[in-house]
Amino acid sequence: MGPESGVTGKRDEDKSREELFEELAQLREERVALREIIAGYEAYTGGDRLAAPRDSQDCGHRAAGNTLNLSERFLKDMFDSITDAISVINRDMYIVRVNRTMGIWHQDMMPLVGKKCYYAYHNRNEPCEWCPCKVAIAEGTPWTGIVPRDVAGRTVGWQEVFAFPLRDDGGAVVGAVSYARDITERRHAEEAMKEAKAQAELYVDLMSHDINNMHQISLGYLELARNELTDERLREYVDRPIEVLRRCARLIQNVRKLQRLRDGEFLPGIVEITDVLRDVQREYGAVPHKTIQLHLDGAGPCPVVANELLYDVFANLVSNAIKHTGSRTDINIGLGRVERDGRQFCRVTVDDNGPGIPDGFKALVFNRMLKGTQIAKGMGLGLYLVKSLVESYGGMVWVEDRVPGDYSQGAKFVVMLPVA
């Protein structure tokens, strides 16, 4: 054997030694991985131990297989423990894997693996046009949608499906995993809510038109009858139903306005508060035995972001003061600018010298459900509308004593709106 043969033998020996070291290192890694899988499984099963190979050589031959088997079993157990339905499909829409829930949903099509998803799940011969998995595979992005839940070729409910693309090591999309949740009960509840909303809107429309028209006809006849009466005592008997009908008309208007406000029918814009307050004073200034004074206090222009319903805020406050005070009552409307937390506000006050509001009721008068007491009577919806409107403008409203510390001297309502 020549020198070259000796060198080659040495190289082969070095190479076999390197390969041996690599095999030992790989064996060491596989044994560590096996121990980790066994520990994880025992923790998962609450302490059930697995019979692991004792012989090192046997471990070397079987470590990789055991690791894969344990990983598969561990994954399957977790997969099947999920109560929502999970499905893995490839690019050709063939089902690769499902969890137990998906199998329960489609028992009539078992086994599912190997079938086209649109055939197995929806009894179709072509992909569903609304399929989230199809979109996730085509676009390579997560997708979600609400689709029919079909069993044995008929729709039995609805499911919300989340689809996520699966990629290979090179980044290419090779399939998708879908996560489906049965939302049939939720869907039925939503439909019931829509139906209830439609019925409520129908009742409001009936009040806003038919019932209101009947009120106006009754009110017209009563006013004609009042004009024919000369006896002041008999006129008072007619005045009472006239006032009741007017209050009913205002109630219907407030309900309708609240509905339109929540539906977003009123577009915001710049509104000058001084103009609105002058309109309120003109309308209510002619009420007998009620003096309504407007004090602008040199505030000058005070624009705010609001809509046409800003008038209703102050009209309701003045109307409330008129209704809940006796004869010979003074009602004052004040306007000024103040700064709060670094922002400019228009501050409007409406105060009266009526019976006032006790401290225990001040925080409750804006509650639409307030009832059961003489103080609460008639306040609910009008002041609830005031609060809803003011808050929609980004402002705040509250009530305090006209004379601090003595509620019996009258109430003062305060409205703060940000300057535009």
The CATH homologous superfamily for domain 267-420 is Histidine kinase-like ATPase, C-terminal domain (3.30.565.10)
CA atoms 53, 57, 60, 61: torsion sign: negative
Q: What is the mean pLDDT of residues 219-231?
A: 88
Confidence of residue 65 (pLDDT cuts 50, 70, 90): low
The pLDDT tens digits for 333-389 are 999 999 988 899 999 999 998 889 998 888 888 876 554 444 444 445 788 889 989
CA 417/CA 272 separation, integer angstroms:
11
Q: Which has the closest alpha carbon to 366: 336, 391, 349?
A: 391
User: Please, which contacts does 342-345 make with residues 24 or more away whose CB atoms are closer than 8 Å?
Assistant: 343/418, 343/419, 344/418, 344/419, 345/395, 345/416, 345/417, 345/418, 345/419
Torsion of CA 6, 7, 13, 15, to 10 degrees: -160
Q: Are 114 and 207 in contact (CB under 8 A)?
A: no
Mean pLDDT of 73-79: 75
φ/ψ of residue 379, rounded to 5: -85, -35
- CA 212 remoteness from chain centre: 34
In this prediction, residue 374 carries a pLDDT of 46
Task: Report the range of poorest mean pLDDT among 42-56, 160-174, 251-265, 298-312.
Answer: 42-56
pLDDT (0 to 100) of residue 232: 84
* Token pair belonging to 276: 């609105």
User: How are beta strands 290-295 and 329-340 bridged, if at all?
Assistant: parallel
Burial bucket for residue 382 (CB in 10 Å: 0-12, 13-18, 19+): buried
- Of the chain, the percentage scoring pLDDT greater than 90 comes to 23
Q: What does the pLDDT read at residue 4?
A: 45
Report yes or no: 113 and 93 within 8 Å, Cβ to Cβ: no
Place of tokens 């609060």: 387
HEC secondary structure over 251-311 = HHHHHHHHHHHHCCCCCCEEEEHHHHHHHHHHHHCCCCCEEEEEECCCCCCCEEEECCCHH
Segment 118-143 shows an average pLDDT of 88
Per-residue pLDDT band for 172 (boundaries 50, 70, 90) equals very high
Helices 232-262 and 212-228: angle between axes, nearest 10 degrees: 160
- In percent, how much of the chain has pLDDT > 70? 77
pLDDT in tens, 90-123: 999 999 989 888 988 888 888 999 999 889 888 8
Quote the pLDDT of residue 33: 47
Domain boundaries, the chain: 3-79, 82-182, 186-265, 267-420
Q: CA dist 90 to 80, 144, 283, 348, Å?
A: 20, 18, 73, 67
Residue predicted with more confidence, 239 or 59: 239
Q: Identify the pLDDT of residue 395.
A: 95
Mean pLDDT of 169-185: 89
CA–CA distance, 220 with 227 (Å, rounded to integer): 11
Please state which architecture CATH assigns to domain 82-182. 2-Layer Sandwich (3.30)
Chain Cα centroid distance, residue 226: 52
> Mind listing the pLDDT tens digit for each residue in 147-159?
888 777 678 888 8
Rounded distance between C-alpha atoms, residue 145 and residue 132, angstroms: 6
Q: What's 175's DSSP letter?
A: E
